[in-house]
Structures are given as C-alpha cells and as structure tokens.
Amino acid sequence: MPDRLPFDHLDERLARAAWSRLTEPDDRAANRLVATLGAGPALDWLLEAARGLFRAVPTEPPRGGWRTAAARWTPRLTDLDPRRELEVIARRGGYLILPGSPAWPVGLDQLGESAPLCLWAIGARNPATLTASSVALVGSRASTAYGERVTTDLATGMAERSITVVSGGAYGIDAAAHRATLGVYGPALAVMAGGLDRYYPNGNSQLLAQVAATGAVLAEVPPGTAPMRTRFLSRNRLIAALARATVVVEAAWRSGALSTAARAAELHRPVGAVPGPVTSAASAGCHRLLRESRATCVTDAAEVAELVQPVGTALPEEPTVAAGLLDDLDLEQARVLDALPARGEAVFGAVVRSAGLDEASVRAALGFLELAGRVTREGSAWRRARVPRG
C-alpha cells in the first residue's frame, strides 16, 4: 500500500473523484466518513487504516465497523490517481460535479447517506436545470410494440411540456423514451451504471451521444468502471432521485424497473404505472404495482404531467412497493458474482478489487456461490459456472 497519494488529496474535486473509484455505489459508510472528516482527511484516515492505524471517527460506526469498511476500500488504493479519470472525461467533453455546485441536482440530497459523492457528466445542459421539472420513464429491455408505442406517446407529451425525460439508456423502454424525446427536440437525461468512457449498451451509443448533445448523461462511477448488474440496481436510486416522478411503462413481474419504482416510493415521490393487456407477461409488473402499491394508473401524457409536483409533496405514507424482487443472492454475493469475468477466470485478489468488498466477505460469498453451483475454482482462480440452456 502507498505511504502517500500521488495527487493533492486535500483538493475537494480530486478527493471526491478518488472516493468514487475506491467505493462501490451506495456505500453509506464512505458517505458517513466523508461527511464527518471531509473527503481529503478521510483519505488520510484510510491511508493510516491501511497501515493498521485506526483513528477514532467521531460518528456512529457503520454496520460491521470501520475496520470492515476500510478492508473494502484499501485494495483499490494501489495506483489510485483520479487525475487520469478526469483527463479521460475531459477528452470526452465531460466534467465532474460536486455536491453544492450550481450543476448539482438537489433531488439527490434526499438520498441522505445513499447520495453519490460526486457525479461524472457529459452534456450540453446543466443537470440541475434539467431535473427541475422531470419524470423518469422506465421499463423492460424486452419491450413489446405496445410498450414502445405508449412510451413514445408519453415521452413526446413530456417533451412538448418542457418536462425532462429521465431514463437509463438501455434497450427497450429506455431507448424508446430517449428516441421520442430527441425526435421533438425535448430535454433528456440518461443515467449510466458504468463509466462514461464508453456508453453502454454499445448498440445505443449513438443515441446516448445525442442525449449528451442536447441534454446530459450522468454516472456516479468514474471512467473505466464496468456496468455490472449490481451497479445497475444502485443506479436505479439515482434515476428515482433525479426525477420528480417515476412512471413504469411496461415491466414483467420481476423487472428491474420495479426497483426504480420502489426507490421513488421510498423518497415519497409519485409513482405511476401504465396498464397493459391482462394476458401480457410484459405488463405483469405494472399490474403488480397498481395492485400492491399506491402507484397511480396513468394512460396519457396529461396524467403523467399531473404527477410532476415539487419533491416531497406526494406519497407521505410509508412506501409499499416491494424492493427485493430481482435475485436469490444477497447484495454481497451478487457483487462477487458480477466481479467475475463473463469469460475466463480471475484470481482471488482481482475479485476483491473488482467487487469492492473486504477479503472475508469475498471469501464467504465465493464459498456460498461454489456450494450453489454458481462458480467453480481451478487452482487459485475462480470462474463462473456454465449454466445449462433450456
């Protein structure tokens, strides 16, 4: 581990960029440490912790304690230098946004300790301005013609009302929402799960470049970060927080779009759902929202516009949207599985660095995954198990 960092870590911009590399999204312990000590002094604390010197932190420790948190972060101290990522984003015409700056979307602050430490951005417009009046249109990647038609109608109606359409840039409903918005020169905002050095999915790279040219594309992770599945789930909280309301246009029973709706409800933001044919599995998640939660049935742009109210004025009751719908693995197990390459293998240390967890947690997760038949070990390396088709 380095004795000192090769950059001015007391520079707030560099320090927060560094923390975005050290941590996984939605790391509440890191947020608490930075809020208590400051981003730069928190890096000093971590350097000392890496040498076994644990200074007391004058705040309540996170779950598992500060030693466990430090063990999660220290593997990424090696070669840490955020100036490289800042150069990459600058070459792509992007920049870093810090909390409290004029470009910072204030809706993110409602996330509390789940708020991002900074935002990486590429775009022609101020994200804070874009999100002042905004709605998230989300749904399945495996969309139907019905879902894409409704999305086009809703997004066009939002754009005509100068309401920013927020989505995740994926295939299916996300792409339809962005495409329709751009078609009528409306304001658009896309939120990525990976770094902005390359847009994902690759098939939507041109579409996302158009979003950046007229609106903005955001990420909380630095360039070079792969869009792993757990990062998509964490990204959904940003979509919910950036938008004044969230509408699920088309979603299956276990769609990831439901997690965005759940996060919006947790933030007391309005949630809408578009009904579909009762025979369509692609709309089962929307029907589930309408039946099991306080989601509002929306069928046209005017009804969506009614949801877009000042943040915090809707849904004062406890949220009832189920959040844990997506997998049989807990977060750490899913993160470790995501850290393994889709093809090939990885040694234990590489898995630790990629997953952003401490060694004990990675070892426990790998053991569980091996017993469950999800991973295999070959000598000192680990690989994903082949899943039979059919």
183 vs 293, higher pLDDT = 183
Write down the pLDDT at residue 127: 94
Write down the pLDDT at residue 309: 54
Beta strand ranges found along the chain (DSSP E): 94-97, 119-123, 134-139, 164-167, 188-191, 216-219, 245-250, 271-273, 296-297, 346-347, 375-378, 381-384
348-355 and 331-339 helices cross at what angle (nearest 10)?
A: 120
Write down the pLDDT at residue 313: 40
325 vs 89, higher pLDDT = 89
Note the pLDDT tens digit of each residue in 206-232.
Answer: 999 999 999 999 999 999 999 888 898
| 331-384 carries CATH number 1.10.10.10 | yes
Residue 319 scores a pLDDT above 70:
no
User: Residue 321 — very low, low, confident or very high, per pLDDT cuts 50/70/90?
Assistant: very low
Mean pLDDT throughout 347-375?
81
Question: For residue 364, what is the DSSP state?
Answer: H
With 0-12 / 13-18 / 19 or more C-beta atoms within 10 angstroms meaning exposed / middle / buried, residue 291 is exposed
Note the pLDDT tens digit of each residue in 56-76.
Answer: 998 998 888 999 999 999 999
> Where exactly are the structural domains of the chain?
12-80, 87-307, 331-384
Alpha carbon distance 387, 364 (integer Å): 22
Write down the pLDDT at residue 311: 39
293 vs 195, higher pLDDT = 195
User: Residue 1 — very low, low, confident or very high, per pLDDT cuts 50/70/90?
Assistant: low
User: Residue 238 — very low, low, confident or very high, per pLDDT cuts 50/70/90?
Assistant: very high
Percent of the chain with pLDDT over 70: 93
Write down the pLDDT at residue 389: 47
With 0-12 / 13-18 / 19 or more C-beta atoms within 10 angstroms meaning exposed / middle / buried, residue 324 is exposed
Report which of 137, 173, 177 is spatially closest to residue 156, judged by C-alpha positions. 177
Note the pLDDT tens digit of each residue in 141-198.
Answer: 999 999 999 999 999 999 999 999 999 999 999 999 999 999 999 999 999 999 999 9
Mean of the per-residue pLDDT values of the chain = 88
User: Residue 385 — very low, low, confident or very high, per pLDDT cuts 50/70/90?
Assistant: confident
Percent of the chain with pLDDT over 90: 66
331-384 shares the fold of 87-307 = no
Q: Which CATH code fits 87-307? A: 3.40.50.450
Write down the pLDDT at residue 294: 81
328 vs 249, higher pLDDT = 249
User: Using an 8 Å Cβ cutoff, are 210 and 99 in contact?
Assistant: no
Residue 285 scores a pLDDT above 80:
yes
Residue 293 scores a pLDDT above 70:
yes
User: Residue 362 — very low, low, confident or very high, per pLDDT cuts 50/70/90?
Assistant: confident
Write down the pLDDT at residue 125: 87
User: Residue 382 — very low, low, confident or very high, per pLDDT cuts 50/70/90?
Assistant: confident
